[in-house]
Amino acid sequence: MNGDEACCEGALAAGCRFFAGYPITPATEVAESMSRRLPEIGGIYIQMEDEIASMAAILGASWGGVKSMTSTSGPGFSLMMENIGLGICTETPCVVCNVQRAGPSTGLPTLVAQGDMMQARWGSHGHYEIIALSPSSPQEMFDFTIRAFNLSEYYRLPVIILADETIGHMNERVIIPQEEDIEIVNRRKPTVSREDYLPYEADADGIAPMANCGDGYRIHVTGLTHDDRGYPAMDAKAQEKMITRLVDKIRKNRDKIIRTQNLYLDDADVVVVSYGISARSAMQAVRDARKDGIKAGLIKLDTIWPFPEELIRSVASRSKAMIMAEINGGQMVLELERSAFGACPVSLVSNFGGRILHPGLILNAVAKAAKEKT
């Protein structure tokens, strides 16, 4: 099956029973599969009038107690930004899959890019933390979609899957495990009495138990800065308290959230960092470099946000050079530079989208970096 279909199957396996979306290449097959599969298992599929409404609908469904998701590509992702912010502020678990195509604007509808990395991080206004995952195969589309739901349920926020056209449209074998072998996380429920429940009163780890609409608890949900009751609290003190918690619940748990796949890091001189479809080209280049006697290594970012700063810093301190391979003008390379903190030179192998990176390009950059005198 292709990556989009695998995303749908992963969502269903994770317990998703509500999908609202608007078809857009190259994410259409996610919606299409959902429209076929959800009714079979008692779920609901709605084709909305646009992506603003799609995002609103999945937030509402989530508060109704159902795991929900939407899928889109660049133009729709832009429209979703406002309500992604609402999801963050109201701490609403849900999943947004962005199968990236080349932009800006309508761009190249049917062709690949990885240009929405920073938009996923900072696209909605205000200061917040986000979780985003980047799959490199249809199998990872399946696996990471399940993980996206688990993270969203646990940390209570919209989790973004940053896929790309090639992964979405690529057919490969996908192994779906037995139901009992799939780990499922559900949102934390209130344990206190109805009288004592405050919807935004967090446990020690910064995460507040969530009562769904209709559970019988008193809840109030707003995009305004709010207090523990969920009521608007219009002052700097309330803002400080709320944002600190929204930020800390991700930052302080980053070790549990961040995942990378590392190859040959033990003795690597030149380390390529990549993600999504580009990570496959990077892995080919690293293997080819090893055949040529170059000590190359790879960090594949399974989690894009939060970024693995500590890992990068420690690898940079013992590497000759680091290279980011990505399909945009240079986005995650900025994070790589920041995290390497001057410990080694950082360079970029990229294009602006429309085609995937050739392993030969990355290999050339690795070979060049390996030759540089330190």
Partner 1 sequence: MPDKRERHILITGFGGQGIVMAGDILGKAATLYDHKHATMTQNYGPEARGGACSSQVIISSEEILFPCVEEPEILVCMSQEAYTKNIKSLKTEGTLIWDTDLVHTRKTDAAFKSFNIPATRFAEQLGTKMMANIVMLGFLSAVEPLVHAEALKKAVLESVPPSTRDNNLRAFTTGREYGHSILKGLVKPEPGKHQE
Q: How far is the CB of 143 from partner 1 (least distance, A)?
A: 16
Q: Which helix (H) or strand (E) holds 96?
A: strand 94-102
Contact positions with partner 1 (CB under 8 A) in 275-304: 280-281, 283-284, 287-288
Backbone angles phi, psi at 104, to 5 degrees: -75, 175
For partner 1, the binding residue among 358, 361, 364, 367 (CB under 8 A) is 358
Backbone angles phi, psi at 98, to 5 degrees: -110, 105
DSSP state of 91: T
Contact positions with partner 1 (CB under 8 A) in 5-34: 25
> x/- string (CB under 8 A) for partner 1, residues 154-193?
------------x--xxxxx--------------------
Q: How far is the CB of 228 from partner 1 (least distance, A)?
A: 50
Decide whether 170 or 268 has the Cβ nearer to partner 1. 170
360 is a contact residue toward partner 1 (CB under 8 A): yes
Q: How far is the CB of 323 from partner 1 (least distance, A)?
A: 17
- The answer to whether residues 321 and 297 touch, using CB atoms and an 8 Å cutoff, is no
134 is a contact residue toward partner 1 (CB under 8 A): no
Contact partners, residue 74, CB within 8 Å, separation at least 6? 98, 100, 101, 102, 103, 104, 107, 113, 115, 116
Give the SS3 label for residue 16.
strand
Q: How far is the CB of 170 from partner 1 (least distance, A)?
A: 5
Report d(CA 219, CA 215) in Å as an integer: 10
Q: How far is the CB of 23 from partner 1 (least distance, A)?
A: 12
70 is a contact residue toward partner 1 (CB under 8 A): no
Residue at 195: amino acid letter: E
For partner 1, the binding residue among 109, 123, 223, 330 (CB under 8 A) is 109
Residue at 325: amino acid letter: A
Decide whether 361 or 370 has the Cβ nearer to partner 1. 361
Decide whether 47 or 110 has the Cβ nearer to partner 1. 110
Q: Count the residues of the shown chain that bind partner 1, applying the rule CB under 8 A.
A: 19
Q: Which helix (H) or strand (E) holds 170?
A: none
356 is a contact residue toward partner 1 (CB under 8 A): yes
Q: How far is the CB of 165 from partner 1 (least distance, A)?
A: 9
Decide whether 242 or 323 has the Cβ nearer to partner 1. 323
Q: How far is the CB of 40 from partner 1 (least distance, A)?
A: 16
Decide whether 172 or 228 has the Cβ nearer to partner 1. 172
Task: For residue 24, give both structure tokens.
Answer: 């857009």
262 is a contact residue toward partner 1 (CB under 8 A): no
Report d(CA 83, CA 85) in Å as an integer: 5
Nearest CA among 81, 206, 211, 93 for reference residue 220: 211
HSE on the CB side for 54, CA within 13 Å? 28
Nearest CA among 143, 11, 160, 12 for reference residue 98: 160
Decide whether 228 or 288 has the Cβ nearer to partner 1. 288
Task: For residue 255, give both structure tokens.
Answer: 């070790």
Report d(CA 201, CA 280) in Å as an integer: 43
Q: How far is the CB of 363 from partner 1 (least distance, A)?
A: 9
**Residue numbers at the binding site for partner 1 (CB under 8 A):** 25, 109-110, 166, 169-173, 280-281, 283-284, 287-288, 356, 358-360
